[in-house]
Amino acid sequence: MTISYTITQLQNVAKQLIANVPSKTLCFYGEMGAGKTTLIKALVKELKGDGSANSPTFGIVNEYQKKDGKLLGFHFDFYRLESESEAWDLGLEEYLSTDTWVFMEWPEKIEGILPETRADIKIEILDEKTRRLTML
């Protein structure tokens, strides 16, 4: 699946992605500023998340709830990790064992411990306003 889009089409892209991913664990690849967090915000909104999603760059993980108070999922930003063992220290295995959505930015930092069942999503900058999403 490959989709080129602009920010105004983001909610539709989120709907398409939710309908087509083979797993609730989504790994987002792309350079800084490609729109990984922006897409995750749209996904959380589409999944009826309560409140606004934001990047967990400094806290490494954010937890999101649904509007009914139930757990929606987790959002990781591994950009600042120095080793895969730091992800284990965060309790990554426990997060992955839940039946919730798991969004991971910079998964290449923990490539050796990523779960086999996941969706790898690459976001590329085509120009100032356009991005291309490819589900690998």
Q: What pLDDT is stored for residue 115 in this prediction?
A: 92
d(CA 4, CA 22): 20
Rg (CA), the chain: 14
Question: Using 50, 70 and 90 to split pLDDT, how confident is the model at 117?
Answer: very high
The 3-state secondary structure of the chain reads CEEEEEHHHHHHHHHHHHHHCCCCEEEEECCCCCCHHHHHHHHHHHCCECCCCCCCCCCCEEEEEECCCCEEEEEEECCCCCCHHHHHHCCHHHHHCCCCEEEEECHHHHHHHCCCCCEEEEEEECCCCEEEEEEC
Under 8 Å between Cβ of 87 and 110: yes
| Domain span at 41 | 2-115+124-135
Per-residue pLDDT averaged across 16-26, rounded? Answer: 96
CATH of the domain at 78: 3.40.50.300
Question: What percentage of the chain has pLDDT greater than the value 70?
Answer: 96
Torsion region of 85: left, alpha or beta (phi above 0 gives left; psi -120 to 50 gives alpha): alpha
Digit-coded pLDDT (tens) for 64-116: 999 898 999 999 999 999 999 999 998 898 999 889 999 999 999 999 999 99
Q: What pLDDT is stored for residue 50 in this prediction?
A: 82
- pLDDT over threshold 90, residue 52: no
Which range among 42-56, 92-106, 110-124 shows the weakest confidence by mean pLDDT? 42-56
Q: Which two tokens stand for residue 100?
A: 């919730």
Number of domains present in the structure of the chain? 1
- pLDDT over threshold 90, residue 118: yes
Q: What rounded mean pLDDT belongs to the chain?
A: 92
Per-residue pLDDT averaged across 48-55, rounded? Answer: 78
Per-residue pLDDT averaged across 37-62, rounded? Answer: 84
